[in-house]
Structures are given as C-alpha cells and as structure tokens.
Structure 1
Amino acid sequence: MRPYTGPAILGYGFRPFFLSACIFATLAIPLWLAIWRGAASLDGTFSPTDWHIHEMLFGYAGAVIAGFLFTAVPNWTGRMPRRGLSLALLAALWPTGRLAVAGVLGLSPFFVAAIDVAFLVAIAGITAVEIVAGRNWRNLKVVVPVSLLALANAGYHAEAAMQGEADIARRLGMGLVVFLILLIGGRVIPSFTRNWLAARNAARLPAPFARFDGIALALTGPALIWWTVAPYGPVTAVLLTIAAVAQAARLSRWCGLATLRNPLLLMLHAAFAFVPLGFVALAAAALGWAFAATGLHLLGIGAIGGMTAAVMMRATQGHTGRPLQADRLLVAAFCLIGAAALVRAGSTVLTFDAITAAAVLWTLGFGALTYRLAPWLIGASVSKRTANPAPARG
C-alpha cells in the first residue's frame, strides 16, 4: 500500500461513512420525533413518514453499506482502497443527498432524486469495477443487491412523486437491506465466531457458509419479493414463515451461545436474530393478527440498526489497530438499540408512550456509539503492538 499523508478521516472508506452514519442516526430520529409531534417540519418532496423511512433505509443504511464495501473490497481484491480526494468527493455526495431530500437545497423533485440516487449508483459502480479488476468473481454477487437498492431508491422518488406517497418502494428497500444482512452477515458471523472459538480449542465450531445457507437464501428471496408486492394474505404469511424458519435454522448452526464471553461477537448473533422475529411478525400482520409496524421495526431497528452498529464497532476497531473488544459503553449502546426495537415493536400493547421511549433509546444508543467511535474514525490508527489489550472503561 502506498504511503498516505492526508487526513486520517480520508485514509480508508469506513472512516467518513461510518462517522456520517453514526452522527446522522443520532440526529435524525429526534428530528423525526419533533416532526411526528408537530413541533417541526421539512420542505422536502416526501411526506413526513416517507422521509423517515427513506432516510433510514437509503440514507443511514446506505452510508454504512458504502463504508463496509469500501473497506471489504480492497481486502477481497488486494487493490488500493479509495482514499484522499476521490473518497472526499464520494463522502460529500452523501450529505448533499440528505440535504436535498430534506428540502434544504430547494431543488426540484427531479434533481433531488438525481443527487440522492447518484450516491448508491456510484457505490455499486465502483464496487463492480474494483471486483472485476481484481478478478474476485466470488464476491461480484454483492453488487446485485446494491444495484437493486439504487433502483429501489429511484423508484421511491418516482412513486412518491406520482402517488404522493411511496408504498411498494418502501418494502422493496427494506427487503433489499435485510437481504444484504442475510448475505453478508451469513458469511462474516460464522467466520468470526469460528476463528474465535478455534483459538480457544472449542469442541464445536460454527457451520461455514455452504449449500444449506444458499437454500435458506433461496427461500427468503421470493418471500421478500412477494411481501413487497402483496404484503397481506395467506400466501405472504406462509412464505414469510418459511423464511423465518430458514433463517432461524441458519442462526442455530453458528454457536451463538458460545460467544457469551465475547460481547462484540454476541451482538452480531443477537442482531441477526431480529430477522426471523421480524419475519414472524410480518407473517402475523399479513393475516391481520398484528400491526405491520411491529415487524417493520423489528427489522428496521433491531436487525438493520443492530447489525450495522455491531459491524461499525468491529470494523472500526479492527482497521484502526485496536483490540476487538466491546467496552461497557459499546455494550450499552447496542443494548439501547435492541431495547428501542423491542419497545417500538410493542408500542401497540404498552401502556406508556412507546414511540417516544423508543426514539430516546435509539438516540442514546447511537449517541454513545458516536461518542466512542468518532475519535477512532477521525484520529490516526494505532500500532497493534502498542494497542491496549484491556477494554477501555465506558
């Protein structure tokens, strides 16, 4: 790797995008709560609900996906990572999209969509070019869901412009981000767990990604597609239930209980567990037995929020030379996000203002995450030889 003498924040892809995602997650939900209560408003092209859903899926999650890919792809291909000016331009495109969608820039719906969609198009394009140039054909498949996510974003803007509210594009975006978690998480979770358990001579190790996982994904993909088009009805319920069983079976093969002494690993397993829970809740909603918001927030807050938070913790520590250990503050951050998912999912039966409580829990969780990760993302990496092996106090 050629020497890099620029600012640390632009030295590797995960740095600007993880920092942006953490800050945005901390600020966006309090703003949404103010909008929901009627204390604030936005001048963007989306309705308040569409803005909330869009910014969590294509804004927050989009930044985390970019940070993950721009860090993983150089490892996959052995090629140079994006850094310096090229990374700065990409990093600047993301907040420009957030401002445009919020109506701050005063642009027409067409230009808002063009700026917003351009970010994911650029991420998918650069990822594809790097993987092809590095002849890393095995990982080329990851470009497909990212490209589809860019198309879903374009569809979100188009549907909102034509009908006044996005409907199908909401579920399509959610389904694609969840599928990315199933695809990528299904590889890294058993791999990380296996490495840790093998170093401790454990008798049982997680099953590696194999045909069983491919079958589980093949069962889940059609379920998500059907749910996107027809969220209600017995067929939807059956398909989602099958998907839930398939993903729960995958999770059971990864020795999650054996990671109780490693919170950083345990977080990945716990976040993945929200996927089958969310599928079951959506299946119940398809039959009219539950509200759709229950399943959506189990997936949105628990699976997407929890998994992205855990991945940002681990990737930031690993790529800045710090020990792969979760201190008390990081553990608390994850627990707060998980609690936010459970409280919001149970808002229809809880006797207190669960929506506000969930918003507070989420904000505290990501506030703590930002407080811990920001100095590491902005500052220089530390030598592994001098990194303190003991976890820092929260």
Structure 2
Amino acid sequence: MSTASRRRAYAGPAIFSFGFRPFFLLGAAWAAISAPLWVWSFVSGQGLLTREWHIHEMIFGALAAIVAGFLTTAVPNWTGRMPVIGAPLAGLVGLWLAGRIAMLLPGLAPGVAAVVDSAFLLVFAAIIWREVAAGRNWRNLPVCLLLTLMAAGNLLFHLRPSGWDFDMAWRTGLAAVAMLIALIGGRITPSFTNNWLKAQGRTPSARPESRFDHLILLGSAASLAAWIAAPSAAATGLGLGLAGLANLVRLVRWRGWRAAAEPLVWILHLGYFWLALSLMLMGLSAVLPEAPTTLGVHALTVGAVGVMTLAVMTRASRGHTGRDLSADRSVQAIYLLANLAAVLRLAAAAAGYHPELLAASVAAWSGAFGLFVVTHSPMLTRPRPIAARRA
C-alpha cells in the first residue's frame, strides 16, 4: 500500500490524522495563553511565573509545538514516507503536554521537570532524523541539525543549576529558530509567490534558490553562532548587521510586491522582512552599547517568529484541509494583530520599561493567536470535506 493510500486508510480521530492539526492548535493556544499569564504574574508581583519561564515557554513550548506541526506534515512530502499519525502522533502530543504541565508545577523537583520537558524535543528530533535518513533526503539534513540545536538549547536551560548560562540557552534555541525561518522561509516564500503568479496567468519573478542564497544562509548561520557565544562583541554585531542586509537583499529579489493582492502570499514576505530587520537590530545593539539590547531580540521573537508562524499556520491549515488558498477577513485580522504586536513590543523596548505598551503588545499577540484558534479549530479538528478528499 502506498503512503498516500495508508494515509487515506486512517480511520481514527481527525485531529490525529496529520501533525499540523494538534500541534498548530495547541501551540497557538499556548502562545495566546502563556504570554498574558506571565505579564499578570510580573505586574501583580506574585512571582509565580518568572522571566525565565516566559522565555522558555515561548521558545521551547509554544514555538516547539508549531515547528513540530510543520515538520510532521512537511517531512513526509520531502521523503515520501508515511507520516506520524494516529497513536504515535497522540503520544508525541502527550509528551509536549506533559512538558507544559511540568513547567507549571511549582512543587515539582527540578530534575523531574527537566526530564519530562526535555523528552518532547529529543524524541521529536530523533523522529525527524530517522525519517530524513530513511528517505535519503540529504537536502534536509540542515533541518535535522537545527532541530537538534533547538533541543540542545532546551537541555542547557535545564542545566542552569549546574552552572550553564541561561542566556546562552535561550540564544541557542532562538538562533536555531531564526535559521529555520531563513532556510524554510527562504524556500516557501519565493515558491508560493511564483505559484500564485502562475495561477493569475502572470510571469513568475521570484528567483529560485541559488548559490547566492546558500552564501547568505552560511553567513547568517555564522553570525548567529557568534551571537550565541559572544553577543556583545563588535565583530558579532558587524556580522549580524551584514547578515540582516544580505537577507534583505534576498527578500527584495523575490519581488513580493507583485503578489500584494493576496495576503496569504505577501505575509510571508513581511515575516521574512522581520527576520532581516531583527538581525540588523541585534547587530546594532552589539556595536552601539547605548542601543536598547532587547530591540533586535523582540523583532525576532514577536516579529519574525510571530508573523511567520501565523503565516505558515493559516496557509497550511487551509491548504491541507481542502479550503481555498485565500485570506478571508479573519485571517487578515490575524496578520494585522501579529504585526501590531511586533510594532508595539519594539516601541516598548525602545522606551525602556513601558507597561502600557507592553500590555498592548501582549493583547495584540494573544489576539492574533487566539483568533487563529477560534477561526481554525473547526478545520483542524474535523475531517477534511468529502469534496476536497475526492479532488
């Protein structure tokens, strides 16, 4: 039986028929809930949820789930192998949920929390390595390496009591995510742009991947590696700035303005712009000590990560459930809120501690991910329409 036939033969709950279904839903819900939870704890002075918890749950909690949703869906297409569905997928989701519970229980021993929380990314990375190797899909070995780096960052977080630097832990995880955006976003953005232009009867213009792109990826990886090790070094700042400019040139080469009529396409370009901007701002903060140190980091987390993940989730959810690849008003509202959250967060960082701007940014962030959950949960939890299955 072929991979497609085995996938169609699945008769269990719809939510476990594809990896994107449970992980997009749970990752978005946790992104919407955990940010205001931390702000409430911070502002109220309760101290139940620390800054470290907030950073961890954004990178290794919500974002890890969304990455898992994308890769468990994309890797079978890359390798031609059977996707992780049914009971194995439910077990993987259970590992992620166990990690979130462990990180919320104040009385749980740190060693137990570390084991429970680390299990998800380690098991998930092993699955992706197995599938890519078994499918001899060597082109995507960098994805495996970046996922392993993300799991390593999570392990470093839990090794803080042993003396590991907490900031290095989250920088490691965030650098891996930035490179995933550069690598995978750099593939799908020009590809989807050209596909849309072809569907409109227009000549494609986005340039395919070339040696120029490979050099930019290598330069970006080198600058982010330097950022992990020495974030305040002038050489690191210069490297990040050049990497940001190079990624901006890469973005311009895709000519995203030609697809400005379709939000599902141009939002990918905007998400990639946030990546280029974040690298430049991170470089600026290293070169100029007086520059706000968190400006670039929040351009990366709230801007590039927030916008690009929502761009991918909305498109993939619609495409894989047989819906039209067009953005309705709710999807456009999601994009507006995501970008508003990024702009407000940068304004808050530029102004120093500004509780009103911070609260407004968190409200927009939670609104974007919460609206995704509300509007997309029906298509993520219900079977694909019969007409779409026959198409």
TM-score normalized with structure 2 length = 0.93
Q: Which SS does the other structure have where 1:285 is aligned? A: helix
Distance in 1, Cα, partners of 2:141 & 2:75: 10
Aligned-residue identity in percent: 40
In the alignment, which residue of structure 1 is the partner of 2:133? 132
Question: Structure 2 vs 1, CA of residues 279 and 192 (structure 1 numbering), >3 Å: closer, same or farther?
Answer: same
Correspondence for 2:310: 309
CA contact (8 A) 1:322 1:384 kept: no
Q: What is the aligned partner in structure 1 of residue 338 from structure 2?
A: 337
Q: Which residue of 2 aligns with 1:68?
A: 70
**Is the CA contact 1:198–1:205 (under 8 Å) kept in the aligned structure 2?**
no
2:368 paired residue number: 365
Letter in 2 for 1:38: S
Q: Is the 8 A contact 1:50 1:165 kept in 2?
A: no
- 2:215 is aligned to 215
Contact 2:268 2:311 in 1 (8 A): yes
Asked if 1:259 corresponds to 2:259, the answer is yes
- Which of 86, 99, 108 is the aligned partner of 1:97? 99
Tell me which residue corresponds to 1:154.
Answer: 155
Task: Map Cα deviations across residues 151-210 of structure 1 (whole Å, 9 max, x no partner).
Answer: 111011112x23597111121111111111101111111111111112334345101111
List runs of 5+ in structure 2 lacking aligned partners.
Answer: none
Q: Distance in 1 between matches of 2:310 and 2:36?
A: 18
CA shift for structure 1 position 137: 2.2
Give the alignment partner of residue 33 of structure 1, picking from 29, 36, 39: 39
Cα distance between partner residues in 2 of 1:80 and 1:114: 29
Q: Which is helix-richer, 1 or 2?
A: 2
Asked whether 1:108 is paired with 2:70, we answer no
Which structure 2 residues correspond to residues 230-241 of structure 1 after superposition, within 5 A? 230-241=230-241
Aligned to 1:347, what secondary structure does the other structure show?
helix
Counterpart in the other structure of 1:285: 285
Moved more, 215-224 or 163-172: 163-172
Amino acid at match of 2:86: G
1:222 CA displacement: 1.2
- Separation (CA, whole Å) in 1 of partners of 2:304 and 2:240: 16
Partner of 1:15: 21
Q: Aligned partner of 1:67: which letter?
A: G
Root mean square deviation, CA, Å: 1.8
Conserved 8 A contact 1:207-1:253: yes
* Count of residues paired in the alignment: 381
Answer with 15-24 or 109-118: which moved more: 109-118
What is the DSSP-based 3-state SS (H/G/I as helix, E as strand, rest coil) of the residue aligned with 1:37? Answer: helix
Residue identity matched to 1:65? V
Q: Distance in 2 between matches of 1:226 and 1:164?
A: 17
Q: Who is 2:296 aligned against?
A: 295
CA contact under 8 A between 2:334 and 2:369: conserved in structure 1?
A: yes
Change (3 A) 1:54 1:381: same
The 3 A distance-change label for structure 1 pair 78 and 164 is closer
- 1:148 Cα offset (Å): 1.1
TM superposition shift of 1:37:
0.4
Offset, 1:348: 4.3
